[in-house]
Structure formats: C-alpha cells, structure tokens
Amino acid sequence: MVADSSSVTAEARSALPYPILLLIFLLFAQSIHALTTDTAPESISARWSALLHIHDSRALITDQNFLLAESDKIEQLSDAAGIAALRQQTLRLFNAEPSAKCRFPARYITLVNEGALKDSGLTECAGYQEFIRRVPVEEISIVFASEHLTQPSSIMGHVMLAMSGVNTDGLRVEHSASFFTTLDFKNPANFIAQTLISGKEGYFIVQPLSESLNNYLYTEQRNVWRYPLILTDEQRTLLQAHMWELGSADIPYLFQSHNCATLSLDLIRLAIGDAAARRDWVSPIDVVRYADERALFSEKQVLASDLWKISMLQEFMTRDDADRAAAWVRGESSVDGDALGPVSQKLGATLARYQVTRGEISPLQYEALMSESSGWQSTTLELTDYRDPLKSAADAHLSLGWQRDGDSDWLTFNWLPAAHDLLDNNRNYFGESTLRLSEVSIRASVETGHVQLNRWTLYETLALNPIDRLTGGVSGYFHLRFDRDPVDSLESEPGITTEGGLGVSAKLARDIGAFALLGAGLRADSDGAVVFLHPQAGMWIYEVGGMKSWIRAGIKPATSAHHSTYVGFDHSIEIKKSGLLVLTAERKMLDQDYRDLINFNYRHYF
C-alpha cells in the first residue's frame, strides 16, 4: 500500500539539476567502458604493447619522453601500427644515440632478444648499474596489504611487488616497488574528476620494503600477505630493467583503470610474456588471483598486524587469562608475567607493542616490559589459514533478478565493478564490510517494459569492526548515491543521497554478530533537500550450507516532520565459488501507510 502524498507529476519528479545529470553521465560512461572486452593489438610483438603500457588501444602512460612520441600523435600511436612505429622510433634512437639504452634498458634487452640490435651490454650505464647493485632481484614477490576502509586510496587493499637478494656489499636487502597517488578532499568535485576521469599524478617508487611493512603492520594495523613468484632469471632481469624505466616516467593515476593493481599486474604480465587481454577493472586481490590461477607461486607468507593477533589469541584463551595479560601490560604488581601461560604471554607482548605504537604506553614502559619478557618461551602462531584473501568473493559481480516494488513487478540488472557487500562471505575480512564503487542497478517494468535507472552508487563504504575489550573498535559507514528511496515519502522518487555515521558492533558468537549505528544524511530531489537522522541496528548470522542472514531495522526522522521506519531481512546462499542466490525483503512505513520491496536475484562473480 502506497500513500499518494503529492500531486507532482512523474515527469517533474524525475528531473534532476543539469550539473548533477552531467556528472552522473560522465561517471556512468566511464564505468560502462570497463565492461568492454580488451582486444589484443595486432602488433609485431605483444611484449612491446606491455613495455609501452598500451591497453585497449590506449596509452596508459602518456609521457612523451617515455613513449618517444609527440603529444598530438599519442592517440594515433596507440593502435597496432602505432606500436610498431614506437618500436621503430626506439630502434632509431638507439642507433643514433647508443647511450639512450641506459634510459630504456628493458626495451634494449627486448630488441637484442628480437635480433634487432647487437648486444653491446649495459655496463656503461652508471645509474642503472647502481640500481642493479642496490636492488637485487634474486626473488620477486607479490605483497598484498589488506583493506583499510578509512583511507579511500586503500579501501580495496594495496598490492605491490617486493624484490630481495644479496647486494654487492654482501648484505641481504629487500625493496618494494609501489604505485600510488596522493589524495586531497578539499574539493570533492575536483577529486572525483581527477581520480575517475582525467587522471591524477601517480608515483612509482622503489624503497626499502621495511618502510612499507612497518607502515602497514604497525601504523595502519593492516595484515600483509607475501607470495614469492616462480620466475626465471631472464624474467626477473627484464622486470628489474623495466622498473628502472618507470622510475623516471610521468605516470597518471586513475582509480578504476590505472592504479596500484593494474600497474603491478602489467609488470607481471610483461615478465611472463602474457599477451592475452585483461579487463579494465583490476583490484589488488585480483593480482594475487591472477598469479594463483597460473601457478606462479607455491607458497604464501602471512604477516599479521598486532590488532589481528590480539583478536585471534583471545579465541584460544579464557576471559580471565586475557585480563591477566592486560593487567601485566598495565604494570599491576599482582600479576607475575613469568607465571602466565605461553599464549597469555604472547598476548601480553603483542598488546604491549600495539599500545606503544598508539601512544597508550610510553616507550620506557614498553622497554621495561620487553626486558621482563625476554626470557619467556617463544610461541609461534600458525597464521597461514587463519584468514585467506583468496577465499573471499571476487571483487566484481553481475546479477539478474526480479523485484516486487509495491504493486509493480520489475526485472532487474545489477553490476558492481568493485567490490563487495554484506551479503557476500566476509569471513576472511577483519569484520563485516561493504565497499561499492560505481555500482549500477537498472530495472525494467514487467507490465510496460519501461526501463529506468534504479540505483547508482558512486561510493559506499561500511565497516562493522567488532569491539574488543582490549583494543576497542569503532564501526562506521558513508555513501553517496542516486536512488529512488526518499526519506519522507513512500513514492519511488529519484534523488541524490549522501549519508554517514558511527557506532559499534560485536561478535556474539563465532558466526553471529550485532551492530548499532547512528547516522545523518542529506537527500536532494526535485522537491528540495531534506536532512535526516538515521539510527539503525541489526544482526547477522553465518549458517550451514554457505548461507548467511541479516535482520535490520531503523528509523529516519527528517526535517520535513515525516518519520519513516523500516524492517528488513536479507538472505544469501552460496552457489559454488562463483555464484550467490540473494533474497531481500523490506517493509518501509510512513504515517499509517507502508510499502513492501522484495528482491530475488542470482549474482555471478567475475
């Protein structure tokens, strides 16, 4: 039952301000481009396409000094004939200026291997030789850092390559090669335009691996997985040479099409000579999946953050044992650290390090605790299978289904290019979480065939971090989207909604949790703008047979004096590794009326 609360026509309701429509069109067009299938360039060498970072007949690196092409010719040089022309330009440069090979050692190695150049070596290239001496590549690994939902640049995690070996001084050293950008949210419109459309300045940096690991593990408390790659000496040498080339290039960063994941994947594909097409949307964990599917690594190494270790260790001890470990960190005289059990001692030492990095205890207090624990029995944690990002759902999906909205029936199509939501199996994340980037939902009326944009989520993140007695924990969310769910009406009315909030969540049992959040938002449509509050609560449960259920309820008191409430139930069933059956049902109530919304769809991950 839907109340007729307004006489405004459907045409007037569907109208949005022109600037908003323009922004939606530009971002939607950019998202749809990611659906197109990459076509392999018909060049003389697929490796030249990889060396020049040509993807989908488009140069991802448009630096003239890198491509050896004039700016007005870059578009033309990105097709099959253009790649061959760039190769010839490189060959002419090397013949006319032999020292130029020092700028492009990977291209020089490739031309020598193709028989186009006689090998005269690279020993006279002082800068490159110094790079080789300082950054040995006896082993190259993929390094994946878990998601960090409070930092937009890392909301899907981060991936980079690590190189290790013995340098010329006889020391074993490790370095990381990472691509990233800096983010500035002072001008949101400019931020969206740069990171999604025009491109933002990117930085490709090789630095000691310890700097990155310390930041991830201790400053940001993110878990890290390391996957050593099975590569030949020739493949590692080519990769090392190309990293040197990239160090002096001006590389644009695009969040959805040229980021840390796409560049890392392109480097690996270059090394192994993979000429097959790749898709536009690549997430950090997709790089690990790519290597896993091609058997490029045979082992994995897990480096867990102190926050994760503290949570895990408490699963293997009583509450009293955990309290005694915490009391030892506080320096209570009633607790003898030597009398603690091995697991409690491990918890105490880990908790002490966590607190000193957060400034909760002084460095002097930490040093005293470490001195006291120096004679403790060493306890090793086996973390290999505790949580595994490869077991999480893929970071993109398509879904088809049916929707009952009030008295109308619709066929629905949904595309989420990145990344996941609460109905997915999130056991391998630290907590229940949602991340949606440019999600598009379209529906077609069964009765009339009318097609409309049902929802378009530009950005949504939610993290239900279970509160911990020893470390605390805050849950929160934020989203910006176009939808048809007004706060103060039961009508299906298009508008723009932005909302955010904070709260708490808790694990009631291993597979059961609950949450409570308080949010506030702004909804704008053709009738004007409405500010609202949004207290909400609910719980989730993982069930047998790959099933998962959510119960949720909330109220939205608005400045329009209308207070809508809702209750909902969501249920999902895993279908092997690539599918999910989803049922959602919600009743929204306003004054004495209500509106029911039921969805049933099949989700395919890719």
Q: Tens digit of pLDDT for each residue in 109-126?
A: 999 999 999 999 999 999
Same structural domain, 111 and 153: no
pLDDT for res 327 = 96
Other CB atoms within a 10 A radius of the CB of residue 428 amount to 14
pLDDT exceeds cutoff 80 at 61 = yes
As a whole number of angstroms, the distance between CA 600 and CA 366 comes to 54
Q: Is 560 helix (H, G, I), strand (E, B) or coil?
A: coil
pLDDT at site 14: 35
Higher pLDDT, 9 or 247: 247
The mean per-residue pLDDT over the stretch 454-459 comes to 93
Position 255 scores a pLDDT of 74
List of residues 6+ apart from 443 with CB closer than 8 A: 403, 410, 411, 412, 413, 451, 452, 454
Q: What is the β-pairing status of strands 397-405 and 593-605? A: antiparallel
Identify the domain boundary among 124, 141, 170.
Answer: 124
Query: Measured between alpha carbons, how far is 542 from 521 in angstroms, rounded to an integer?
Result: 30
Same domain? For 155 and 263 the reply is yes
Query: What per-residue confidence (pLDDT) applies to 41?
Result: 36
- 138, 108: one domain: no
Q: Are residues 466 and 549 in the same domain?
A: yes
- pLDDT-derived band at 183 (thresholds 50, 70, 90) equals low
List the single range of 130-139, 150-159, 586-595 with lowest mean pLDDT. 150-159
Q: Is residue 18 part of a domain?
A: no
Give the pLDDT score at 71. 60
pLDDT tens-digit map of 560-579? 888 899 999 999 999 988 99
Position 37 scores a pLDDT of 35
Average pLDDT over residues 347-354: 96
Query: Which range of residues forms the domain containing residue 158?
Result: 129-304
Q: At residue 463, does pLDDT exceed 70? A: yes
Q: For 38, how many CA atoms within 13 A lie in the half-sphere containing its CB?
A: 18
Q: To the nearest whole percent, how much of the chain has pLDDT over 90?
A: 64
Of 332 and 182, the structure prediction assigns the larger pLDDT to 332
Strand-pair partners of 517 = 503, 536
- When the pLDDT of each residue in the chain is averaged and rounded to a whole number, the result is 86
Strand partners, 182: none
Question: Looking at the domain assignment, is residue 378 inside a domain?
Answer: no
Residue 499, burial from CB neighbour count under 10 angstroms (0-12, 13-18, 19+): buried
Query: Which pTM was predicted?
Result: 0.82
In-domain check, residue 165 = yes
Q: Verify that 597 and 577 share a domain, yes or no.
A: yes
What pLDDT digit, counting tens, does each position of 205-214 carry? 999 999 999 9
Tell me: do 493 and 446 sit in the same domain: yes
Residue 471 has pLDDT above 50, yes or no: yes
Residue predicted with more confidence, 413 or 196: 413
Same domain, 271 and 418: no
Are 456 and 486 part of one and the same domain? yes
In a domain, 470, yes or no: yes
In the prediction, which pLDDT does 187 show? 58
- 386, part of any domain: no
Q: Is the dihedral of CA 308, 312, 317, 320 positive or negative?
A: positive
Alpha-carbon distance 168 to 392, whole Å? 41
pLDDT score of 175 more than 70: yes
Q: Confidence class of residue 385 from pLDDT cuts 50, 70 and 90?
A: low
Whole-number pLDDT of residue 33: 41
The domain boundary residue, chosen from 287, 304, 321: 304
185, pLDDT greater than 70? no
Do 360 and 398 have their domain in common? no
Same domain membership, residue 481 and residue 411: yes
Mean per-residue pLDDT, 231-254: 94
Number of domain units in the chain? 4
Identify any residues that bridge with 436 across adjacent strands, giving them in sequence order. Answer: 419, 460
Residues with Cβ < 8 Å from 565, sequence gap 6 or more?
553, 554, 555, 556, 588, 589, 590
Question: Is 27 inside a domain boundary?
Answer: no
Tokens of 464: 């239900």
From the list 454, 414, 420, 424, the residue with the least C-alpha distance to 436 is: 420
pLDDT at 465 over 60: yes
In the predicted model, is pLDDT for residue 344 greater than 60?
A: yes
Is residue 363 exposed (0-12), middle (13-18) or buried (19+ Cβ within 10 Å)? exposed
124, 140, 158 - which closes a domain: 124
Tell me: pLDDT of 464 over 50: yes
Q: Are residues 515 and 557 in the same domain?
A: yes
254 CB contacts (<8 Å, ≥6 apart)? 195, 196, 199, 200
Task: Give how far Cα 563 sits from Cα of 327, 365, 501, 589, Å.
Answer: 47, 52, 18, 9
247 domain-assigned: yes
Say if residue 68 is in the same domain as residue 213. no
pLDDT at 389: 83
> In the structure, what pLDDT confidence band is assigned to residue 76 with cuts at 50, 70 and 90?
low
Q: Is 31 within the bounds of a domain? A: no
**pLDDT of 32 over the 50 cut:** no
Q: Is the pLDDT of residue 192 over 70?
A: no
